Chain A
Amino acid sequence: MTAISEARTYTSDEMMTVAAARALRDGASCFVGIGLPSTAANLARRTHAPNLVLIYESGCLGAKPDRLPLSIGDGILGQTADAVISVPEVFNYWLQPGRIDVGFLGAAQLDRFGNINTTIIGPDYDHPRVRLPGAGGAPEIAASCREVFIIVRQSKRTFVDKLDFVTSFGHGAGKGDREELGLPGAGPVLVITDLGVLRPDPGTAELTLTELHPGVELDQAIAATGWPLKVAADLGRSPAPTADELATLRVLKEAR
């Protein structure tokens, strides 16, 4: 008996949310989807990034909710926003010209180049095994935000060798594909999971594991990935959530 594992006081979902929140820079503008991205962005605004500008596709620029919204059009978002605008305006005037720093997306399936599927599960579009909600704002968020962060729980079901459908373009089949298609933003620069953090390799754009969360073994991350996972030579450890981060996150979640 060597290692005595320290009793963890937080869940892997909490670690993922905290890691995602930390990645958001104070003062940045962030296009936020509901669920994990919204939780992380709201945590960031209540901890290190009070001037983070939250943009929801329902037409809320600079929303400042005091509890977690339950949908992207929750009343609290419009009531606290700097400006409420129409949906065509969100996409045409704000997203498309590249005014937004970070697009924060989730995924049902993700491949090694950060391409995302939220459309169907199964090989046949006309007869899908599972019909998922579809694209929403994601294809253009992935194309036009300056950077894209993806937050997703890591498993073989999600981290797949080949997507059943490309809903949102990441790095295509590798470095240079975005430029070739004329996509203005940098694409996915960060993938935060419940096990660790991945970043695209600067040379190939293939997602590479750069950090493990505390208590997670490398084998776990490899086993939860549907392709031979690349691991950074200087693989790091994410710092555990601080007491303050956890307390703030829990208050936010309870205040629903």
Chain B
Amino acid sequence: MAEIVSLSAAIAELVHDGDMVALEGFTHLIPVAAGHEIIRQGRRDLTLVRMTPDIVYDQLIGAGCARKLIFSWGGNPGVGSLHRFREAVTDSWPVPLEIEEHSHAGMANRYVAGASGLPFAVLRGYTGTDLPRHTATIKPITCPFTGEQLTAVPALNPDVSIVHAQRADRNGNVQIWGLLGVQKEAVLAAKRSLVTVEEIVGELEPKPGAIVLPGWAVTKVAAVPRGAHPSYAEGYYDRDNQYYQDWDPIGRDRQRFTDWLVEQGLRPVGSNA
């Protein structure tokens, strides 16, 4: 049964320096507050995993939390580039960032393999592209039944996966609806998991299209209202599109970004206060 704790206690217990950490949520239900708590607690040398690193990963990378990024698309959706991510790759600022780059199909299948307890997944993908030349975790494989040339990608089994959901009950059963992304796969693939939720309720009312992650499959649950802002939580609040627009000039400039970290009570790299 998932333990219900505060966000700061959950991050302190579950996320350690050097861990592989996945924060998932495909545009919808991005666990932004949990990402900020990781910055606040000053985690370092993380291998961050996410199909679509966007603003919260830009912030984690700019704050110096990450050593490596495993991803398939890194941008500010509908706005443009992630400048902290770009500078980490091109100028090693604030620390060098190793990248392991895939396609969405490859990343989704890596989570599926991880959740399935398999060592790798098979797909028809990457053929003819330059990705296999630069990414060691993309290998050709021959179908033993037909002889077809396919592609294998290894399972992803993060030390910790963190997702955001609409609600949980007091036993830690989690209910999610709307766009589900790869949240279920990310949680089931991970050694430990944290689900932040909009609210904890007495009983989960059935909802069309909703899935339930049973409390015994989740490590910890924390109530974090608006924990997905500036992304959205279907049924609770809309996406804050202005925030995504406003991020561009902040992320673009090292000084403005550093000031932003201080303003938000998140500490910049090198500060051990």
A joins B in a complex: yes
The answer to whether A140 and B179 touch (CB under 8 A), given A71-B77, A133-B81, is no
Closest chain B CB from A112 CB (angstroms):
16
Enumerate chain A residues within 8 angstroms of B81, measured Cβ to Cβ: 131-133
- B residues 117-173 near A (Cβ < 8 Å) are 123-131, 134, 148-149
Selected from B82, B129, B185, B239, the residue in CB contact (under 8 A) with A168 is B129
B129 touches A74 (CB 8 A): no
Closest chain B CB from A177 CB (angstroms):
7
Chain B interface main SS type: loop
The answer to whether A144 and B124 touch (CB under 8 A), given A136-B103, A169-B129, is yes
B124 touches A135 (CB 8 A): no
B51 touches A87 (CB 8 A): yes
Chain A interface main SS type: loop
A140 touches B89 (CB 8 A): no
Stretch of B9-17, B106-114, B262-270 lying at the A interface? B106-114
| A3 interface residue (CB < 8 Å to B) | no
A134 touches B27 (CB 8 A): no
Enumerate chain B residues within 8 angstroms of A131, measured Cβ to Cβ: 74, 81, 85-86, 89-90
Q: How far is the CA of A175 from the CA of B123 in the complex (A)?
A: 25
Q: How far is the CA of A78 from the CA of B209 in the complex (A)?
A: 11
- A residues 55-75 near B (Cβ < 8 Å) are 57-60, 70-75
Closest chain A CB from B28 CB (angstroms):
5
A88 touches B185 (CB 8 A): yes
| B220 interface residue (CB < 8 Å to A) | no
| B204 interface residue (CB < 8 Å to A) | no
- A residues 181-207 near B (Cβ < 8 Å) are 181-184
A134 touches B124 (CB 8 A): no
A88 touches B129 (CB 8 A): no
B90 touches A169 (CB 8 A): no
B104 touches A57 (CB 8 A): yes
- A residues 117-144 near B (Cβ < 8 Å) are 119, 125, 127-140, 143-144
| A242 interface residue (CB < 8 Å to B) | no
- A residues 73-92 near B (Cβ < 8 Å) are 73-75, 77-78, 84-88, 90-92
Closest A residue to B108 using CB positions:
A88
A74 touches B27 (CB 8 A): yes
Q: How far is the CA of A84 from the CA of B178 in the complex (A)?
A: 7
A70 touches B78 (CB 8 A): yes
Selected from B101, B105, B149, B239, the residue in CB contact (under 8 A) with A134 is B101
The answer to whether A71 and B239 touch (CB under 8 A), given A87-B51, A96-B123, A134-B74, is yes
Selected from B82, B102, B123, the residue in CB contact (under 8 A) with A92 is B123
Q: How far is the CA of A122 from the CA of B18 in the complex (A)?
A: 31
A137 touches B104 (CB 8 A): yes
Closest chain B CB from A175 CB (angstroms):
14
Q: How far is the CA of A66 from the CA of B142 in the complex (A)?
A: 45
Selected from B181, B232, B241, the residue in CB contact (under 8 A) with A86 is B181
A71 touches B27 (CB 8 A): yes
A72 touches B124 (CB 8 A): no
A143 touches B178 (CB 8 A): no
| B184 interface residue (CB < 8 Å to A) | yes
- Digitize B57-80: 1 where CB-to-A-CB distance is under 8 Å, 0 elsewhere: 000000000000001111101100
Listed by A's residue number, 26 A-B pairs whose Cβ atoms lie within 8 Å are: A35-B78, A58-B26, A59-B26, A75-B28, A75-B239, A78-B179, A78-B234, A85-B180, A86-B180, A87-B26, A96-B125, A119-B101, A119-B130, A127-B90, A130-B90, A131-B89, A131-B90, A136-B52, A139-B103, A139-B127, A140-B123, A167-B130, A167-B131, A169-B127, A182-B127, A182-B148
8 new A-B contacts at CB < 8 Å, known A87-B51, A87-B181: A72-B27, A78-B234, A84-B180, A87-B180, A125-B130, A138-B103, A168-B129, A182-B148
The interface of chain B, by Cβ under 8 A from chain A, is 26-28, 51-52, 71-75, 77-78, 81-82, 85-86, 89-90, 101-105, 108-109, 111-112, 123-131, 134, 148-149, 178-182, 184-185, 209, 232, 234, 238-239, 241, 244
Top 7 closest pairs, chain A to chain B, by CB: A73-B27, A169-B128, A136-B73, A133-B75, A71-B77, A91-B105, A88-B108
